[in-house]
Structure 1
Amino acid sequence: MIEKFLIGTYTINASQGIYQIELDTDKKQLQNTQLVAEIGSPTYLAESKAHKIYSVDRNMEEPELRGGVATFDGKTIPAKEMQECIEKGTSAAFVSIDERRQFVFTANYHMGHASVYKIQSDGTLKLTDRAHDNGIPGPLPEQADGPHPHYANLTPDDRLVVCDLGLDRVYLYDVSDQGKLSLVSEINTHPGFGPRNITFVPRTGKGYLVGELSSKVAVIDYNEEAGLFTIQQIISTIPDDWESHNGAAGIKVSKDKRFVYVSNRGNDSIAVFKIKPNGDLRRIQLISSEGEFPRDFNFSEDESMFIVTNQNSDNASLYSRDAETGKLTLIQKDFQVPEGTCVVRRENID
């Protein structure tokens, strides 16, 4: 069986934009890197069930830096560009889709805001609201210039959660049917934690928040009825004796709700955690990403295999995944993918 994945990239060196790679699940190998769309630094992207690709868009052709989100029709390769929502300033860092209400959310790290777009009948986007904050920044140099939202996506009960790395804060919003945001609550992490991404386990009330600057994961207890987050546990993603720079990046939970995976940029590894009955984590494996700066990763459809892209070494690595233990075993390395930063599994693509 052939499964297909979209790869977001930086276009600083060899990359030209969005790529597609294939996973042959019978041969257990990655193959056929193919350019899907030429676009400037599509570092994060998402694909809707209607096969519209919504991508970070960085436009360097103007006299001043411009950025936003672009829409492509992903039913063909090359994908047809449908729209660019471009503004002055740099591009977003994260894109996600609300299929039920037909919204797209973005988080803009450098501009300090999260945005809501309504998906129109033709798949294009219309901005409906934007949330800003100007709180007290964290103590680290990366936080000195203020807010840095790095993630905007849905909770299991369809609220919007925004992780702000610059302010050491996580925000929770209600989203109206018109795409308007109203703040429900917020939580401060410890100074210098640097919230980057969060993932939830449905029906357990638990979320797992990765801190880029601290290289730690916070176990979050989410009270849906009250709309409140509380921190339950904090655990490191790297060895205690690691002294060089590291930035924790991607985080995902397996579908069986038993394991959490985190990528480490610097330690260049994947940390595997087992979820205890109370939701706390125990680290059970730290395995090399077989490249430099592993920013994102994803599972095969049945989660028997695991793909990670290494941005600085232009390669992807493939692992088998033991469903019982959650641990990874390297199958393939040095598969060429230029400047990979995002891995999105495609659904029902011929």
Structure 2
Amino acid sequence: MIEKYLLGTYTRRISKGVYQLELDTDNQKLQNLKFVGSAIDPTYVAESNKKRIYAITKVKDDQENVTGGFVEWDGSSDDFPLKPIASIHDQETSPAYISVDEDKQLVFTANYHAGTVNSYKIAADGSISKADRIMDKGTLGFRKEQQDGPHPHYINLTPEGRIVAVDLGVDKVFIYDLEDSGKLVPVSELQMPDGYGPRHIYFDAKKKVAYLVGELSSNVAVVDYDADKGVLSLRDINSTIPDDWTEHNGAAAIRVSKDGRFVYVSNRGNNSLAVFSSDEKGNLSLIQRISTEGDFPRDFNLSDDESFIIALNQNSDNATLYTRDSESGKLTMIQKDFTVPEGVSILRKK
């Protein structure tokens, strides 16, 4: 079976934009890298059920002034490279994350450098209009990466349809109610310890918990979630790196197996995937740490049947393929030489 994945990248050296790779599950290999569409630093992408692809990007004018936003492509065609059907660039610089609400036909972005979370309405013809924009607020963390302001790094839907936004700069997680218009209505805030540096979050609705990655602290936290009230509360914090690791590391992406038994976190610096088992209450125990066979793994993803994991190494321009044991949760590397230029994110194509 062939599975296709969309790849977000930086375009600082050799990448030209968004790419697609194939996973051949029968032959257990990555193959057939294709160039999907041109954009400047399309680090994260999202795709709707209508196969509309939304890619973060930015544009420059004649004076090299930058404005950020995203571009929209019709992903129903494989006639690459795709041509934009719409775009919007109304932010100070390019966002850090993008996601889609199918029911309300909204797109959300978190803008790390501008300190804002944003919502946009998507019309039936694909045209885009701004719905809401909120500037994150809070006390800045003590680390140098936090000293220049709020830094929203992630925005997406919670299991019950609210919005969660994660801010690295002020060590907070924000929960919002979401109106059909795209307006964000504040519900609650979770204040993490000073310097935690929240980056990404994953909710397990059955266990009523969320797992929160701390980029700057190299941690993953277990957070209880009351979906009725929209309130998060910190339970426990676990390290993603060895106790004796003294060099730079930034925890990055998080994925959870469908059965909720295993949690995976990537480490940029230690260049590894940390594998945790999760008990029936969501408590974590480290069971493996395995090399990504490259440098700076920002993101990774599981295959449809979760027999494989694909990791992208940004600085070494390669993707690594693992088999995954569904009983133990542990990984075995089987391919490490597949070229992906400046890979940042990986999304299963619909």
In which range does the TM-score fall when normalised by the shorter chain? Answer: over 0.9
Q: CA deviation at 1:129?
A: 0.6
Q: CA deviation at 1:134?
A: 3.2
Q: Which residue of 2 aligns with 1:10?
A: 10
Is 1:199 paired with 2:168? no
Secondary structure of the residue aligned to 2:200 is strand
The one-letter amino acid of 2:206's match is R
Q: Which residue of 1 aligns with 2:25?
A: 25
- 1:1-350 map, 5 Å: 1-63=1-63, 64-76=65-77, 77-87=80-90, 89-347=92-350
Q: Distance in 2 between matches of 1:252 and 1:6?
A: 16
Deviations 1:67-93 (A, max 9, x none): 111111112222221122113521000
Secondary structure of the residue aligned to 1:142 is helix
Secondary structure of the residue aligned to 1:316 is strand
Deviations 1:90-148 (A, max 9, x none): 10000011112211111000000000111210233221011112321100000001100
Deviations 1:302-345 (A, max 9, x none): 11000000000000000000000111100100100000001001
The one-letter amino acid of 2:263's match is V
Q: Distance in 1 between matches of 2:261 and 2:337?
A: 29
Cα-Cα RMSD: 1.0
The one-letter amino acid of 1:30's match is L
Normalising by structure 1, we get a TM-score of 0.97
Q: Distance in 2 between matches of 1:286 and 1:41?
A: 30
Question: Contact 1:186–1:228 (CA<8 Å) still a contact in 2?
Answer: yes
Deviations 1:230-275 (A, max 9, x none): 0111000000110000000000111111111100000000001100
Secondary structure of the residue aligned to 1:286 is strand
Q: Distance in 2 between matches of 1:144 and 1:26?
A: 49
Q: CA deviation at 1:62?
A: 4.2
Q: Distance in 1 between matches of 2:26 and 2:153?
A: 36
Q: Distance in 2 between matches of 1:136 and 1:189?
A: 11
Question: Contact 1:71–1:82 (CA<8 Å) still a contact in 2?
Answer: yes
Question: Contact 1:309–1:340 (CA<8 Å) still a contact in 2?
Answer: yes
The one-letter amino acid of 1:223's match is D
The one-letter amino acid of 2:30's match is L
The one-letter amino acid of 2:5's match is F
The one-letter amino acid of 2:306's match is E
Structure 2 unaligned spans of 5+? none
For the structure 1 residues 179 and 88, does the alpha-carbon distance in structure 2 shift closer, same or farther, using more than 3 Å as the test?
closer
Provide the identity percentage. Answer: 54
Aligned residues: 347
Q: Distance in 2 between matches of 1:60 and 1:330?
A: 41
The one-letter amino acid of 1:201's match is D
Question: Contact 1:74–1:80 (CA<8 Å) still a contact in 2?
Answer: no
Q: CA deviation at 1:4?
A: 0.4
For the structure 1 residues 88 and 304, does the alpha-carbon distance in structure 2 shift closer, same or farther, using more than 3 Å as the test?
closer
Q: Distance in 2 between matches of 1:277 and 1:32?
A: 40
Normalising by structure 2, we get a TM-score of 0.97
Q: CA deviation at 1:61?
A: 4.7
Deviations 1:273-301 (A, max 9, x none): 10012211001000000000000011111
Q: Distance in 2 between matches of 1:6 and 1:62?
A: 31
Q: Which moved more, 1:114-123 or 1:24-33?
A: 114-123
The one-letter amino acid of 1:109's match is Y
Question: Contact 2:117–2:136 (CA<8 Å) still a contact in 1?
Answer: no
The one-letter amino acid of 2:338's match is F
Secondary structure of the residue aligned to 2:145 is helix
Secondary structure of the residue aligned to 2:252 is strand
